[in-house]
Structure 1
Amino acid sequence: MTLPTYTPYDGSSKPFTIGLMPLDIGRWIEPDADLPRYLGEKQHLLEAHRDEIFVAEEDTETAQQECLDLLVNYLCEAYPALYRRIGNLVEVAGKPVDLWEPSLPPLLKAGSLIADDLVIMRRKDDGWHLVAGYVAFPSSWSLKEKFGRPMQAIHADVPGFGEGTRNATLITRIFDSLQTAQPVERMNWSVNATGDLFLPASKHRRPPQAAAFTLAERFARVERQTLRKLPGSGDIVFTIRVYVDPVAAIEHHPKAAVLVQSFANQLETLDEHQTAYKGLALQKAALVAKLRMLARRLSPV
């Protein structure tokens, strides 16, 4: 069983906190062995659900192109064994992406190069708005619903992040002060009853999954998110890389006992509203109990 790449449920990234950290620009995008699978899934989703996974305001073409240019230059320089540019073509995972294809918006071309999802945020009078996005792997939210809305409205149903909250004010300040030379990153995580990458439906709109389950049937979904300001347009590119692993995979981690205990602790601290938002209202107690049991087995007294 493959080990999780990131384990923010170890306590390093607490739920419902901003948790932004400076990012070494050399680590902006982190392609791995799953890249071909993710790109294949993106292509399938683009053919079947384009209107659900791609949106763009009419005046974002320049910012999209700036994002594409920045990404291509970065990838070809940072990962020459994976990305090779020949004229207008960039070859990745054995397939060419035509940078000059007129029928494809620049953001779609950019998203066809990486496993990450891409969102462009723009400052307007009432805050930062989602003005373009290629989001193939949403974590229980709808790109179409969030499109064009300001950040505080996007986060309206997130406990502690709605309009007028301290977190909402802080996020706006962070976006306003973000420097082009200093991107930032954060981690987010959740637990789902499926390992599917494409999860457009909100958790609290789906059945809360009260049936019995094993840790192999629950999946830790981790998001590595980065924010990078575009030097030309001043817009902000928000990248989201999703990692999905069965919770049971933690058992094989070198620090399994500590991780399992911490995971249980993090879940246990969620209040009623946070638990409901994460879709765990009828699962949290059982999930915590199973993690505690695994922790005892891994660290027998």
Structure 2
Amino acid sequence: MTSLPTRTPPTHTPYDGSSKLFSIGLKPLAPTDWIEVDGHLLPYLAEKRRLYAEIPGRVFVEEDGTRDAQQEVLDLLGTHLLERFPDTYRRIDAGVEAVGAQSTTHAGLDGASLVAASLLVQEDLILMRRNDSGWRLVAGSLCFPSSWSLVEKFGRPLQDIHAPVPGFGPGTRPAELINRMFDGLQGQAVERYNWSIQSDNALYHPLSDLERIDRATKRPSRFPDGDIGAHAFIRVERQTLRKLPASGDILFTIRIHLDPLAVLARHPDRATLAVSFVAQLEALDLAQLDYKGLTSDRDRLIAVLNHMASDG
């Protein structure tokens, strides 16, 4: 795992109540804000290259007939990055590159434009395509999964992808709303946030559906020494959706931010953030806690946050 610098203060704090867990929460996104670039760019890209070299079949999938859409993603990203971040990206004979990044390729992945696109940005990139079964995951570069498996979700429609999420399975109102939102998405890009807690700073954080069921059944603490304050990391996902003008596919981007919980204690609004964080944790039911892996740790996490609020 590539070591990452500590971010102070956190870039995004959706646990402040602005992005409720287990809600859709899509908001319009200004085109200039589509992609986020910060001082973590090169370490993130180095970690992606490591994963492509070691476990390519777990972090990249594609169906036949998606290469044109992948190229469309690469072209759109290249244009956007050169315009929005001219000091970070430059044009080269092969297209666009991040200044200071390595330019290695990996056997079996050459020619996959979605891989090339993923090695420009910190975001993961997922292509969704509509057919009679709904919007299906037809290609994806997912180097930094937040407790899910790209291979398991590959080729499946949205309602099946979201089946393990409490309240979002096939036939539920949220599942129907998400499908309608995908159908209605046109030129306007949208964004949403999600967050979770993990016990290390790993960007690659997969979990299969079977592992999730096993974890929920046993409900083990992920902090056996009990020191959540010292070891917990807040994992924030910034997700965007935009419809590709040529292919009509939808590009789903996922940007991961990892912040040690201890960083929150140094935030100028730590008391307000801690109180909101506690309120969201207290509102989760058992199924939601199991899904987030927080069943055994919520009370201890709340105690740490309450202490943080009282010191604010």
Instruction: Pick the TM interval, shorter chain.
Output: over 0.9
Q: Aligned pair in 2 of structure 1 residues 269, 74: CA closer, same or farther (>3 Å)?
A: same
Task: Report how far residue 97 of structure 1 moved.
Answer: 4.9
1:18 aligns with 2:17: no
Of residues 259, 277, 281 in structure 1, which corresponds to 2:291?
A: 277
Match of 2:3 in 1: none
Task: Report how far residue 248 of structure 1 moved.
Answer: 1.4
CA distance in 1, matches of 2:258, 2:243: 27
3-state SS of paired residue (1:107): helix
Match of 1:59 in 2: 65
Task: Report how far residue 252 of structure 1 moved.
Answer: 1.2
CA distance in 2, matches of 1:171, 1:32: 30
After superposition, the C-alpha distances for 1:137-191 in whole angstroms (9 at most, x for unaligned) are: 0001000000000000000010010000000000000000001x21000000001
Q: Flag structure 1 segments of 5+ consecutive residues without an equivalent.
A: none
Match of 1:118 in 2: 125
After superposition, the C-alpha distances for 1:235-275 in whole angstroms (9 at most, x for unaligned) are: 00000000011111111112111001111111111011000
Task: Report how far residue 27 of structure 1 moved.
Answer: 0.4
Aligned residues: 296
Residue range with higher mean Cα deviation, 18-27 or 208-217: 208-217
After superposition, the C-alpha distances for 1:208-251 in whole angstroms (9 at most, x for unaligned) are: 42621231211110000000100000000000000011111111
CA distance in 2, matches of 1:96, 1:46: 13
Match of 2:228 in 1: 214
CA distance in 1, matches of 2:198, 2:102: 34
Match of 1:171 in 2: 178
Residue 84 of structure 2 aligns with an amino acid whose one-letter code is A
After superposition, the C-alpha distances for 1:30-57 in whole angstroms (9 at most, x for unaligned) are: 1100000100000001101100000000
Calculate percent identity across the aligned residue pairs: 52
3-state SS of paired residue (1:72): helix
CA distance in 2, matches of 1:219, 1:122: 34
1:43 aligns with 2:49: yes
3-state SS of paired residue (1:58): coil
Residue range with higher mean Cα deviation, 16-25 or 288-297: 288-297
* Aligned 1:148-297 pairs, distance under 5 A: 148-179=155-186, 181-202=187-208, 204=212, 205-206=214-215, 207-209=220-222, 211=224, 212-297=226-311
Residue range with higher mean Cα deviation, 5-14 or 188-197: 188-197
**TM-score, normalization by structure 2:** 0.91
3-state SS of paired residue (1:84): strand
3-state SS of paired residue (2:65): helix
Residue range with higher mean Cα deviation, 229-238 or 82-91: 82-91
3-state SS of paired residue (1:62): helix
CA distance in 2, matches of 1:8, 1:277: 18
For the 8 Å contact 2:81–2:89, the answer to whether it is kept is yes
CA distance in 1, matches of 2:309, 2:125: 37
CA distance in 2, matches of 1:98, 1:274: 41
Residue 167 of structure 1 aligns with an amino acid whose one-letter code is P
